[in-house]
Structure 1
Amino acid sequence: MDIDEIRSDTPGCAKVAHLNNAGAALPPRPVIDAVAGHFELESLIGGYEAAERNEALIARFYDAVARLLGARREEIAFVENATRAWDMAFYAIPFAEGDRILTTTSEYSSNTIAYQQVATAKGARVEVVPDDADGTLSLDALEAELAKGDVRLVSLNHIPTQNGLVNPAAEVGRLCREHGVLYLLDACQSVGQLSVDVNEIGCDLMSGTGRKFLRGPRGTGFLYVRREILRTLVPPFLDLQAAEWKAPDGFEMRDDALRFETWERHVAGQIGLGVAADYAAGLGTAAIEERVLGLAARLREELAARPGVTVLDKGARPSGIVTFTVDGQDPAAVKAEARESGVNINVTHPLSHGFDPHVRPAAVRASVHYYNTDEELDRLLSVLP
């Protein structure tokens, strides 16, 4: 991986040390050019006409994301963001009275709201599987809950937003297959920084975003739906993209993942997300993962050696998300001081942390990517007391 070339391909690297990739990463030049080029074309010849001319670039998205995830083209849908992609999957599941939804302590609060809404409406139950000693989901506890029966769905995040851990997604997939239970994985923080293969993981549904580690445009996301279960799911709403009108009073849903799409979308964004997926695949997801985890490990080591700094990350092999507190320093003030020095970091808040009973009130979050450098890590460290 030629870091100098990658950085020269990333205009933002000349402006800022960007360590907020878990929020939104800096896009590379091919993505910028793809989005800007299509939007300019729309301005010159019209939106519908531009879509017709760039039909092949729009369709490229499905092949690019499928290749990145090890999926089939017909299992991929373009959705306007990761939250909506997750919602379309979750609300398509036919929950019934007494169904159990199993999740983790590290679940995103946005998803927990959906669990509670469905539990209230359908009579389902939301149950949180406890953690192992290192903070990851306990596989023994999960297997015990699956053995009790009545589990309709296991739903978890691959990487939470607030503590750096990586949940054992593939091991969860194995247990779900053994017990014949549906498995939904929120991969918004993992695709683009880890090697993610839907077949190795064994999930039935996976949602993801463009703006984070995949380095795509904001306002873009994707949904993977395993073809074998697609016909069992009814999306919460349909339009002429998702279904065909059968006059005078009927309709027929598509038999591929496009039943989860809507006709109107951010066309330039879809093109850009396809380019971003190809860009990541071209670099190699294994090389990306090695680089990201190596930088994060170095940052954790340096932070842990500093008096008054507490690293909060959990898990046996943490991700590229690094969270910490500084004694006597408000995380928002640390973020502001870093910003003044040209370093982007963020703050993670307890309202985002779902069921986690041990979360701190707030913490500093630095999330590295492969285009970051040791010098940029040093710039962050120099801001700290």
Structure 2
Amino acid sequence: MDIAALRNDTPGCAHRVHLNNAGAALLSRRTLDTMTSYLELEARIGGYEAANEQLPAIEAVYGAIAELIGGRPEEVALFDNATHAWEAAFYSVRFRPGDRILTGRSEYGSNVLAYLHVAQRTGAEIVVVPNDESGQLDTAALADLVDERVKLVGVSHVPTSGGLVNPVAAIGRITRRAGVPFLLDATQSVGQFPVDVEEIGCDMLSATGRKFLRGPRGTGFLWVRPGVLDRLEPAVNETAASVWDGKRGFTWREGARRFGTWEMSYSNVLGLGSAVRQALELGPDAIGGRARELGAALRERIDEVPGVRTYDLGRERCAIVTASVEAVAAPDVKAALARHGVNVSVTTPETSHLDDEERGVHPLVRLSPHYYNTEDELDRAVAVLADLARSVQPR
């Protein structure tokens, strides 16, 4: 990769050390130009007219996403965020009393709330699969738990609260053998490293545009395997999802489009398409290799600082690094980094319910580099953490 050129094409790199790519990555100039050009077209000729004129480009976004994750365009539906995409899949599964939902300790907070909602409403049961000794989901325990009562396995590929990468291909082999639908939350993984739905073996996958894909906020997508469609009943119906028969009936549209909605921001859609194409051009393998290297380098640097420690779990880890400074609250660490021009996030128990239930470590500072970051930027962030740690040590 030509890192200098990539940084030059990323306006935000000139002003901040952006280590918050697990929150929202920096837009490239090409993506920004794509979005503003479309908005200018809407302003000149009208919203419906602009969409009609750009329809081929809009439709091409489905194909680009499919290429990125190893699917087909008709298997993709677009959404305004990853949570709505995930919910469209989850709430299409019909649960009854006694049905089981299997999930892991690293599951995202919104997903857990949806599980609780459905459990309270239907009498289904939530079963949390334990972690193994490394902190990743224990696939042997999962295999033991899968039986005729299990209606869904829902797992986060990478948690919002750490660098863990769950063994999703092994999970997919288990669910395929058992014939149980597998819903994968790939919000933190798509765009950070290669994600292939056939290799993983999931049946549904949700993701966002704003994180490691470097797309705009307000974008997300859902991929659905055709073979699972007859087991799903979309929870919402509208003109984009079905075709009226002219009387009192309708038929669902083919493929994943039955989960989508008619109205959307086409400026955002085209921005997402631009970001996906850039990821394809750079190559998911190259992106993943550099992101993992930066994450490992940052984790190693932090662990060398007295009074600062990291908390990431799993045998395989990615570019998300969680840390704490002894005797300093995580929001105060974030504020100190911000004063030095470094962007980070803070994890919370509310977004990591099941993980915090077991470990009780949140809130933590979350630092997440991406391929356009440099080692010098990592050093700047670690220097701030080291100064902060020294400042609170007893004299």
Do they superpose with TM above 0.5? yes
Give the structure 2 partner of residue 201 of structure 1: 200
Give the structure 2 partner of residue 69 of structure 1: 69
- Deviation, 1:164, is 1.1
- Deviation, 1:375, is 0.8
Q: Which secondary structure does the structure 2 equivalent of 1:89 belong to? A: helix
Structure 1: state its 5+ residue gaps. none
Structure 2: state its 5+ residue gaps. 388-395
Q: Is residue 249 of structure 1 aligned with residue 266 of structure 2? A: no
Distance across 1 between alignment mates of 2:27 and 2:328: 31
- Deviation, 1:315, is 0.8
**Structure 1 outlier segments of 4+, above 3 Å:** none
- Deviation, 1:359, is 3.1
Please tell me whether the aligned partners of residues 166 and 316 of structure 2 are also in contact (alpha carbons under 8 angstroms). Answer: no
Give the structure 2 partner of residue 106 of structure 1: 106
Give the structure 2 partner of residue 300 of structure 1: 299
Please tell me whether the aligned partners of residues 108 and 351 of structure 2 are also in contact (alpha carbons under 8 angstroms). Answer: yes
Give the structure 1 partner of residue 391 of structure 2: none
Identity among equivalent pairs (%)? 49
Distance across 2 between alignment mates of 1:25 and 1:216: 8
TM-score norm. by structure 1 comes to 0.98
- Deviation, 1:151, is 0.7
Q: What pairs up with 1:298-337 in 2 under 5 angstroms?
A: 298-337=297-336
- Deviation, 1:346, is 1.1
Q: Which secondary structure does the structure 1 equivalent of 2:152 belong to? A: strand
Distance across 2 between alignment mates of 1:346 and 1:132: 27
- Deviation, 1:273, is 0.8
Give the structure 2 partner of residue 365 of structure 1: 366
Q: What pairs up with 1:214-233 in 2 under 5 angstroms?
A: 214-233=213-232
Distance across 2 between alignment mates of 1:284 and 1:111: 30
Give the structure 2 partner of residue 289 of structure 1: 288
Give the structure 1 partner of residue 392 of structure 2: none
Please tell me whether the aligned partners of residues 347 and 363 of structure 2 are also in contact (alpha carbons under 8 angstroms). Answer: yes
Distance across 1 between alignment mates of 2:233 and 2:29: 38
Question: Quick one: which amino acid aligns to residue 200 of structure 1?
Answer: E
Give the structure 2 partner of residue 89 of structure 1: 89
Please tell me whether the aligned partners of residues 102 and 126 of structure 1 are also in contact (alpha carbons under 8 angstroms). Answer: yes
Give the structure 2 partner of residue 178 of structure 1: 177
Distance across 2 between alignment mates of 1:258 and 1:179: 27
- Deviation, 1:83, is 0.2
- Deviation, 1:238, is 1.1
Q: Which secondary structure does the structure 1 equivalent of 2:25 belong to? A: coil
Please tell me whether the aligned partners of residues 209 and 220 of structure 1 are also in contact (alpha carbons under 8 angstroms). Answer: yes
Question: Quick one: which amino acid aligns to residue 150 of structure 2?
Answer: V
* Aligned-pair Cα RMSD in Å: 0.9
Question: Quick one: which amino acid aligns to residue 248 of structure 1?
Answer: K
- Deviation, 1:268, is 0.8
TM-score norm. by structure 2 comes to 0.96
Distance across 2 between alignment mates of 1:343 and 1:109: 26
Distance across 2 between alignment mates of 1:254 and 1:279: 30
Give the structure 1 partner of residue 160 of structure 2: 161
Give the structure 1 partner of residue 43 of structure 2: 43
Question: Quick one: which amino acid aligns to residue 166 of structure 2?
Answer: N
Distance across 1 between alignment mates of 2:325 and 2:219: 35
- Deviation, 1:232, is 2.4
Distance across 2 between alignment mates of 1:359 and 1:75: 39
After superposition, give the CA deviation of every residue in 1:215-252 in whole Å (9 maximum; x if it has no partner).
00100000000011123211111111111112221111
Distance across 2 between alignment mates of 1:3 and 1:359: 38
Distance across 2 between alignment mates of 1:166 and 1:6: 26
Distance across 1 between alignment mates of 2:267 and 2:60: 12
Q: Is residue 152 of structure 1 aligned with residue 163 of structure 2? A: no
Give the structure 2 partner of residue 129 of structure 1: 129
Q: Is residue 57 of structure 1 aligned with residue 60 of structure 2? A: no
After superposition, give the CA deviation of every residue in 1:190-209 in whole Å (9 maximum; x if it has no partner).
00001000000000000000
Distance across 1 between alignment mates of 2:243 and 2:30: 35
Distance across 2 between alignment mates of 1:211 and 1:160: 16
Please tell me whether the aligned partners of residues 162 and 353 of structure 1 are also in contact (alpha carbons under 8 angstroms). Answer: yes
Please tell me whether the aligned partners of residues 230 and 255 of structure 1 are also in contact (alpha carbons under 8 angstroms). Answer: no
Q: Which secondary structure does the structure 1 equivalent of 2:231 belong to? A: coil
